[in-house]
Copies of this chain bind each other. A is one copy, B any other.
Amino acid sequence: MAKTTVRARARRTDNATHAANAEALKRMFASTPFLVDVKPAGEAIAGLGERDLLHAGPPLAGWHEVRRVGALHGSILGALVHLGWAKDVAEAEAMGAAGAVTLKAANDHNAGGTYAGVIGRNTPVLVIDNRALGTRAVAAINEGRGKALRYGANDRATLDRLKWIEGEFATVLGAAIRLTGGVDLYDILSQALHMGDDGHSRQKAASALLLNALATAMVETGYPAATIAGALRFMAKNEIFFLPLTIGAGKSTMLALEGIAGATIVTCMAANGVRFGIKVAGAGRRWFTAPVPGVKGKYFAGYTAKDANPVIGDSEISETTGLGAFAMAAAPALARYVGGSVKDQARLAVAMYKLTLAEHPRFTIPTLEFRGTPAGIDVRRVLETRLTPLFNTGIAHRTPGVGQIGAGFVRTPLASFKAAAAALAAD
């Protein structure tokens, strides 16, 4: 083949990629995710079977992998009891080992899993509609910090609290959301970035703004005062209540980008405790995985890196939409929480501009004179710079039931991006 032909082909490819990525960015920035309802997952999204259980990250190879990830293991056992599929954790373990549960990647089913939390057909989920693009994603209600099923706790107290969250609380919350006609999640997130949130690990402002947005409607649902007061008290105490909404908003955004032929923009980053994986717009729903990376974190008093559960969760979708570690310069108070100086955190975040094709038009960072956050991670740029994306994360104890023991950030493995680039080149 003559050199000119190669060049011409390369140019055609470049032009096609450019156009594909432009379309992907257009859809990303046009997205308008609204929280519209709370419903059982089986009603909100299609294709969930009787014994399906959605988990974070790329697909798991089987029960032996579940057993390698303490928080996930505890979470699934607790979920089987909570969902009424098993009478106790012993029976749940037997069910898991016998393959009586079908584990599926939430990301393949328009859902997002928070940390090690799982979703069954009857799990009430937050329903997020990307109204501008017509996509829908769901995520489970956040239980708060400390002992939580999503961190692997499955004792009676944890499951009783979850029963209330998914029962009385979910009912009031759903009714209130419907009364509002939908809550504009990117509107809240864009305000929250001006209020010290990164939109991922720090959700203090977004959670407070959400309660402000819902409190009136909660009172107007007509439920008894004690029920409403209980619901408001739970939300007011939970500084990360908004987290699953960020995940759902991100997922409903990125669903609109899936399958744009030739687009090299990352649409998903997630981990299941064993593998980390990404998806890329041009490759649709295919996963490109690598062994799960370690976390660089700050541990609560009494814990060290040896206590940490392996990295898990779908919340890294935040970073693909220009939030989280990519917006860390907006959240100086987060530095103390994840460790390191404010200056260092900001520098790490600003370096992410090297990996992205655009600056977010709605998510802006005041300390950078209102510059848009880096958005649209380009697989090619990751390979060129060999600087891989960062994401923020909470850290749970590897022993189920202990709960969160720290927070930090993760440098994603280059291998995933290499695999994605190779697949796109082959297409």
The residue in A219, A222, A228, A342 that gathers the most chain B C-beta atoms within 10 A of its C-beta is A219
Docked Cα-Cα span, A205 to B370, in Å, equals 19
Q: Which of B195, B211, B222 is A212 in contact with, Cβ under 8 Å?
A: B211
Cβ distance A196 to chain B, nearest Cβ, rounded Å: 4
Minimal Cβ-Cβ distance residue in B for A194? B333
Contact of A336 among B209, B220, B370 (CB under 8 A): B370
Q: Count A interface residues, CB 8 Å.
A: 34
In the complex, which residues of chain B have a beta carbon less than 8 angstroms from the beta carbon of A212? Answer: 208, 211-212, 235-236
Copies of this chain, complex-wide, total: 2
Residues 212 to 226 of chain A near chain B (Cβ within 8 Å): 212-213, 215-216, 219-220, 222, 225
**Chain B residues whose C-beta falls within 8 Å of the C-beta of A205 in the assembled complex:** 195-196, 205, 208
CA of A29 to CA of B235, assembled, Å: 31
Q: Is A13 an interface residue (CB 8 A)?
A: no
Q: Name the contact of A236 in the complex, choosing from B191, B216, B228, B342 (C-beta under 8 A).
A: B216
Query: Separation in Å of the A220 CB from the closest CB of chain B?
Result: 5
On chain B, the residues within 8 Å of A3 by CB distance are none
Whole-angstrom CA separation of A342 from B367 in the bound complex: 6
Whether A156 is near chain B, meaning CB under 8 Å from some CB there, is: no
Nearest CB in chain B: distance from A292 CB, A: 31
Per the 8 Å Cβ criterion, residues 314-348 of A in contact with B are 332-333, 335-336, 341-343
Neighbouring B residues of A366 by C-beta, 8 Å: 196, 332-333, 335-336, 342
Does chain B have a CB within 8 A of A229? yes
